[in-house]
Structures are given as C-alpha cells and as structure tokens.
Amino acid sequence: MAQDGGDGGVGPRYRGGLHPDTWEQELEAIPMFMKQCPAEIDAARQPDLACLQSLLFDEEQGPAELARMYRNEGNEYFREKEYQKAVVAYTEGLKKKCEDPEMNAVLHTNRGAAQFYLGNYRSALNDAIQATKLKPTHLKAIIRGALCHMELKNFSEAIAWCEKGLQIDSKEKKLLEVRAKADKLKRTQERDARKAKVMEKKEQREKEILLAAIKERNIKLALEPSNEEEEISDGLAEISLDGFQSGNTTGAKVHLDADGNLNWPVLFLYPEHEQTDFTVAFHENSRFIDHLMVMFAELPPWDVERKYLPSNLQLYFEDEEREEMYELNPEHTLLQVLQHKRYFVKAGTPTVLVFVKGSPYSNKYFSGKKVHRL
C-alpha cells in the first residue's frame, strides 16, 4: 500500500497530517493521546492541555474557582488571538454562576473584548452593558461600550458612555479620545442627514412638478401591476410618486428641460428581427420622422435585405386592453401620440413598434388584428 506523503507516496500529504517518520512523537504531543502528563503545564503555550486538565477537576472546585480558571483560560486564548475560543471559555466561566460580581463583570468585559475583535459589536455591547450593571465603575467595560457604539455609528450613545466613564476618571485618555472623535462624527452625521433631507424635499418637489406637467398634457400613465391587475389612471392624483419609475435598462427617465418641455425615453421595437433601439431623450415636440432619419442614416447590420429605410417604415402602438393596433403618422410629434385617448405610457417609457410596409412578416403579423390609423 502506498503511503500518503514521503518520497515514495502517490499523493500530497494532508495539511497538518502526521509525518510517517515522526508520527509517534507528534501523537504524544496531542493531549488526548499523551501517555504521561507534564509535571508543569504552560497555559500560554499549551492552552488545550490546560483546558483538558482543568475539566478533569471541575467537580473538585467551587463556582468561584471554576470561573477564575475559565477566565484565565480565556485570557490565554485572547493573548494568542484565538478570540472564538476565548469567547467559549469566558462563557463557560459565566455558566458557573459565581456569586462574585467582580469576577462576573470581568468575564463579561473580557468576552465583550473578544466579541469586539470578532466584529460582533452588538454582542460585545451587550457584554459591556452587563458588566457595568455588575460593576458601574468598571472603566474597561465602559470604554468597550463606547467603542462598540462607535463601530455601530451610534455617536450620541458613544458620547454618553464616554461621559459616564469620565465622571469616574476625568483624565482617562482613551475616553477623551473617543469622545472627541464621536463628537466630530456626530456633527458630520447630522450635517449629512440635513443635506439628505433637503435633497429629498427637492426631489419630491421636482417629481410633483413633473407629474403636474404630464397631467396638464392629458398623458395617461399605466403603473406596473401591484398584484395581478394592471392599474391605469386617467388622472394623476392617486399615482404614487415613488412608483413612477423608469422601466428601461438605462435608467433614463422623463424629465423637464430648462424650457419646461418634456423629454421622454422611447423604446423602438423591431419584431421581425427581435431588435430594439432606444432614445434616451425624445423631445415631446419632435416628429417621429426626424428620429427615423437619424436612426437609419446608416442601415443596421441586422437589415441584410436593406429594407429599413425611413420612407419604407410603418410605426404602431398596441392597445393591449382591447388587443388593437394603432398606426402612427411619422409626421406626428411624440406629444401628439402620447395624448391619444388609447395610449398609456407604461413604466415611464413610451414604446413604438416598427414594421416594413407590405413585408410578408408585416402582413402575417397584422392578419386578423384590428388596426386603426391616426
């Protein structure tokens, strides 16, 4: 049988695996497999062994001694930066229900420190709170609580914890430092909140002006279905401003220009070739023919038959509710089309279908459909 690792092995050794030449000595170093326990155990270098040894004598020691033992064990893990193991050790110490509030305060404080380094700031804060309940003057717990609030961006609470600690020691350097930083960040946070509120009000006002302009033009908006039914509004009073969003992939939205004219994102669909064109800002007073002249100044690569010439195209919109089609006059402006009584703008983006006049695909597409001409 081939051995794993070594010069004659067929595969790599497992990480942390025992070496075939020294496995007996390595096995002897593992606490569970030791044939003889060392006379003296260095807890800092052998925390696992110290823990195992301590567990053997749990029944012979009282809660206070056991709590102290787990505190020491946790401290060793903490020094080794084994914070998760330290949390476990401190938790075991608290489970012993030692009647010494000083010891329990230390266990909570130390566990909070370990949780802090693990990034568990709320758990660390809870430990700091428990520690200060047991010992209100415990500065380490107060400092830890202030630091947790800083990480959680609770700057007012951080300042309060610092003030509480400075009443105990007015020269505590760490508390003075944290309080100064928290005060600065709090002012920044409040300033940013004020700016955000002003911006929110401005955006809300702009939306209201925009919707008023749309309503004034008798343009109808169709909202996305809230449940399974589509909601269509002739007026705009009941339309949620937050719900009026652009449905196109570019994020372009209808907007008012400096002259008070609406500019819409418009989607052109070419069903025969499953292609699309997108105009980010179609001025409401622009004619469709003007856009077609620009869009088809050069024939698209997918038009291999070279049929898509501006003069050879027909434009439609679909009335989905009635399952009817309306042919647009290319000389009409976007506003004229949007004001049609059966046109509903969906998701903030008007949509137009483009076909080639008299093409076999067009004839088949419209076969059996009711078509109106504007």
Determine the length of the chain. 374
Instruction: Retrieve residue 358's tokens.
Output: 């008299």
Helix (H, G, I), strand (E, B) or coil at 134: helix
Q: What share of the chain has pLDDT > 90, as a percent?
A: 71
Give the number of other CB atoms < 10 A from CB of residue 48.
Answer: 14
Cα dist. 356→199, 305, 337 in Å?
47, 11, 20
Task: Identify the pLDDT of residue 313.
Answer: 95
What digits encode the pLDDT tens for the residues 29-54?
655 555 555 545 555 555 665 665 55
What digits encode the pLDDT tens for the residues 169-208?
999 999 999 999 999 999 999 999 999 999 999 999 999 9
**5 band by pLDDT with thresholds 50, 70 and 90:** very low
Q: What is the mean pLDDT of residues 103-130?
A: 97
Instruction: Retrieve residue 153's tokens.
Output: 């961006």
Q: What is the mean pLDDT of residues 320-337?
A: 94
Sole residue written with tokens 């439609």: 316
d(CA 166, CA 170): 4
d(CA 245, CA 222): 11
Contacts of 323 (CB under 8 A, 6+ apart): 369, 370
Judged against a pLDDT cut of 90, whether residue 77 lies above it is answered with yes
Strand 220-222 with 232-233, pairing: antiparallel
d(CA 273, CA 305): 12
The amino acid at residue 273 is H
The amino acid at residue 74 is G
**227 band by pLDDT with thresholds 50, 70 and 90:** very low
Q: What is the mean pLDDT of residues 342-363?
A: 94
pTM score over 0.85: no
Mean pLDDT lowest among 139-143, 238-242, 297-301, 319-323: 238-242
Instruction: Retrieve residue 131's tokens.
Output: 């520690």
**17 band by pLDDT with thresholds 50, 70 and 90:** low
Domains of the chain listed by start with CATH number: 57-186 (1.25.40.10), 233-373 (3.10.20.90)
Nearest 5°: the CA angle 315, 317, 318 is: 140
Burial of 294 from C-beta contacts in 10 A (0-12 / 13-18 / 19+): exposed
